[in-house]
A and B are shown apart, each in its own frame.
Chain A
């Protein structure tokens, strides 16, 4: 009983991917469309939907069943070229976009947010159909977060001030923050709508034009959003959205000489390849890559909260989060109790049809991912970790994996070092603060970390010591648009969301005018 109550409180407190604002309006009784019609399947270039130039398409799968939903245009190098050309054209000097008042750019983002709010139920259903995440997450978390991100960025265009500089000599010097130009943005399949908005926001806010490549697993909501972009009134070529694979489509976007900046969210492995290619043209690059984020639970924590939040930290989104809390370090004193409660909680996790209201966990995105997860589970057993819950595929249709729990995990086990991206929780024991900080940092990753403790001083000291871009204390996965998100070390380069994200989409130009006499 108590844990159920705690659960609800945690949902309200912990699922902070959104602000309450977006879902503040009173909703009529929600009718969930389990078979949302697919309306847009072509490439969106210059505000038009066009076939791939080769005419080829690829299949889009429903991961809950393994069945084909539809086919979508498969962009090749030629189509990338078309899209880049459209973006370049929209960015030329004197264009409607370049001349637009900054505040008007913001109004376009507000309009897009309003349209997304209007179509919230449909978008959520489509996202669930294509990605497999529970509808109640798509509807209550993903789409509202998208809306709040767009509204956040909408306020920036007329606030990106440069400086007038106190230089020496008879000069008048000032900086301008200019858009970097045509950007290429490549997004993954785990949060299709959210990542789309994390990319559109700063690109539009700073006045860039963009070509966004959707992940080949999950193109459907992105292509629908393309229609909303046209409806909102964006000039043609400002946002282009294409569907295609990584090795051809994504690669040609990265290599394209007319693309001035690349923003990539995906695996560390591919991120490195992109970094190498981009370096050849000195292309500005921001990368949001993988993680193996440590979640540190101290004995003086609120145990109920810590158990529930640690569960959420790992299992949310079927474990398919770059910042999943995938190494749960628990202080010796409360270790047994924590493991026991986590077993109970994990056993209770409801896996099933993502459109079902009671479902907490849907399928993994693909067969390939599912196989990889099972493989890592096997390695866990082989390395000697204690498998306490799950460990197998769930059912034989769709790509479901049982919620899985390992305890007594050691730092050198594969499941403690490699990103699993699945519903597999690792619990490790620690004794002292110094020891756990060192072990937490012993990773090439550095995306996120968390601390559960009531001790203010310890929380701050430990936070200061953790080498991670986001450190959460007594919470997890807080993604307020105001706060920056990004990785230390091989978890990435640069920051997304927040004011910090604007720098990577801007170029600073310093203008120096000779005058006859300077006075301060």
Chain B
């Protein structure tokens, strides 16, 4: 069932230079699925060589007409949809998310790829009004070799968000999927070859962060690095990029996103939004609504209803169509989350439900709710990446905005209210790259996504997503 476990360079499958492999685990059982070749610095070098060649000005990729490039990119989207059954099962096997969620991810990813395919022949420079003897124009040129490092929480979707704009602008790619979840990326590499992408345009190197990821971030001949992951690693990436060749950097990092529920919210609606805001994807979501601010007037009601919803959340085998929540990704995350449960208790928050392992195999954790959370508690300040809802009470809107903003993160934020002015005012004042009003985590391919402050810089999706994948060249022709 696992078809591809090697490095993908120049449209060919290679063993790792150092000959090592690493295990890929099924988080539902804790058991090994298979071994995958482990890429190291030498393999990154090989990939860079292939990519540079594919980016040569005379290469087939550079000479491909925009409409033809668009057709290739759309072909890839079609193949994702064609193989959705197999891919979704592979994603669920490796990541643990319910198979229905995997399917949704793949459809969203294919739509994202299609969206960017549509941009290819619409990326225009400008002619600029100049002096009478000047002809001035800009070109939007591809940057070149783009290193892309993606996480394990949405393996296929994060790959699509990276591939779409990079390929649309005519770049070439070296992708390092997360070491926890390399399998679907490798399968997609085969699809890219099937679609007809010339060799070297997309290369996939599975490997770890410290060796392989670092090799990419610090490589002298990679022109840009895009990273999605933790703030801690993001800082290292930016440092390595600056120290080496000042490669362009975009980062999508963590969050501690607030969801603010106002007194006029429809309580049932608010409860359901808050529930999915935190628990979706077993809370392994950079924009997880991990601080739920509830107005004092509806606080008790909210807690009671949320507990009920959390207790009814079906945790279990992600291949079972009834399952809503699968396992956490691995043992290390699993332990870290349970540590936060202890921290919450120690800091004096009230454990309303959950707070322990589910079952005795794999890394399942029960949906957990803490009430009476205070802003200075660890569970209110640090990104947990686990199914713990932290509910904080507020009674002043001015105050809650300040509290919501008092974090070094700034990825997402939500507000539930019927009041138009309040909703728009919150939208103005919340320091977050995405603000949702009467919704949460509405991810739309044409709307830009990214962080304020230490949640990252640069935007993905939308037209803005293209900006970090082209270089602007100004040409001035003097007319004599």
Contact = CB atoms under 8 A, between A and B. Distances in A.
Interface in A106-121: 106-107, 110
Interface string B292-322: 0000000000000000000000000000000
A20 B66 CA distance: 10
Contacts of A20: 65, 68
A513 interface: yes
Contacts of A110: 74
Contacts of B65: 19-21
A344 B182 CA distance: 65
Contacts of A1: none
Given A19-B65, A158-B115, A515-B425, A103 B122 contact: no
Chain B CB within 10 Å, residue with most, of A499, A515, A518: A515
B383 interface: no
B2 interface: no
A159 B425 contact: no
Interface stretch (A89-97, A123-131, A147-155, A233-241): A147-155
B119 A159 contact: yes
Contacts of B66: 19, 482
B195 to A, nearest CB: 13
Interface string B60-73: 00000111101100
Contacts of B392: none
A155 B119 contact: yes
Nearest to B69: A21
A503 to B, nearest CB: 14
Nearest to A518: B428
B442 interface: no
A24 B479 contact: no
B59 interface: no
Interface string A492-520: 00000001000000000000011111110
A161 interface: yes
Interface string A126-169: 00000000000000000000001001101110110100000000
A172 interface: yes
Interface string B111-137: 100110111111010000000000100
B361 interface: no
Nearest to A104: B111
Contact of B420 (A106, A152, A159, A513): A513
B111 A519 contact: no
Interface in B48-66: 65-66
Nearest to A160: B446
Contacts of A156: 118, 122
A102 B429 CA distance: 30
Given A161-B463, A460-B479, A499-B124, A519 B428 contact: yes
A155 B121 contact: yes
B108 to A, nearest CB: 11
Nearest to A149: B67
B425 A516 contact: yes
B121 A481 contact: yes
A159 B118 contact: yes
Contacts, number: 80
Given A156-B118, A515-B421, A151 B463 contact: no
B445 interface: yes
A460 B478 CA distance: 10
Contacts of B117: 155
A158 B421 contact: no
A461 interface: yes
A457 B479 contact: yes
Interface string B394-411: 000000000000000000
Contacts of B120: 155
Interface string B203-225: 00000000000000000000000
Contacts of B118: 106, 154-156, 158-159
A158 B465 CA distance: 14
A22 B115 CA distance: 19
Given A19-B68, A156-B118, A461 B479 contact: yes
A151 B119 contact: no
Contacts of B424: 172, 513, 515
B160 to A, nearest CB: 14
A462 to B, nearest CB: 11
Nearest to A461: B479
A151 B67 CA distance: 8
Contacts of A107: 114
A516 B70 contact: no
Contact of B477 (A161, A172, A460): A460
A460 B130 CA distance: 14
Nearest to A516: B421
Nearest to A151: B67
From A21, A151, A156, A518, residue with most partner B Cβ within 10 Å: A21
A461 B135 CA distance: 9
A155 B428 contact: no
B135 A460 contact: yes
A22 B70 CA distance: 11
A481 B67 CA distance: 10
Nearest to B420: A513
A90 B65 CA distance: 36
Contacts of A518: 428
A158 B446 contact: yes
Contacts of A482: 66, 121-122, 124
B69 to A, nearest CB: 9
Nearest to B428: A519
Contacts of B74: 110
A244 to B, nearest CB: 34
A519 B445 CA distance: 27
Nearest to A106: B118
A510 B211 CA distance: 53
A21 B67 contact: yes
B96 to A, nearest CB: 29
Interface in A341-396: none
Contact of A517 (B70, B114, B425, B445): B425
B463 A159 contact: yes
B480 A457 contact: yes
Contacts of B428: 515, 518-519
Contacts of B68: 19-21, 24
A480 B232 CA distance: 47
A154 B479 CA distance: 39
A394 B323 CA distance: 77
A47 to B, nearest CB: 25
B420 A103 contact: no
A151 B71 contact: yes
A148 B65 CA distance: 12
B480 A159 contact: no
A152 B446 contact: no
B70 A155 contact: yes
Given A103-B445, A457-B480, A159 B122 contact: yes
Contacts of B70: 21, 151, 155
A158 B122 contact: no
Contacts of B477: 456, 460
Nearest to B68: A21
Contacts of B480: 457
Nearest to B117: A155
Contact of B121 (A152, A161, A517, A519): A152
Interface string A472-490: 0000000001100000000
A481 B121 CA distance: 9
A158 B479 CA distance: 40
B81 to A, nearest CB: 11
Interface string B417-439: 00011001100110000000000
Given A103-B111, A515-B425, A155 B122 contact: yes
9 contacts: A21-B67, A106-B114, A155-B118, A159-B122, A456-B477, A457-B480, A482-B122, A516-B421, A519-B428
Given A103-B115, A103-B446, A515-B424, 10 more contacts: A20-B68, A21-B71, A22-B67, A24-B71, A102-B446, A151-B70, A156-B122, A457-B480, A514-B421, A515-B421
**Which are the 4 A-B pairs with shortest beta-carbon distances?**
A155-B118, A21-B68, A21-B67, A19-B67
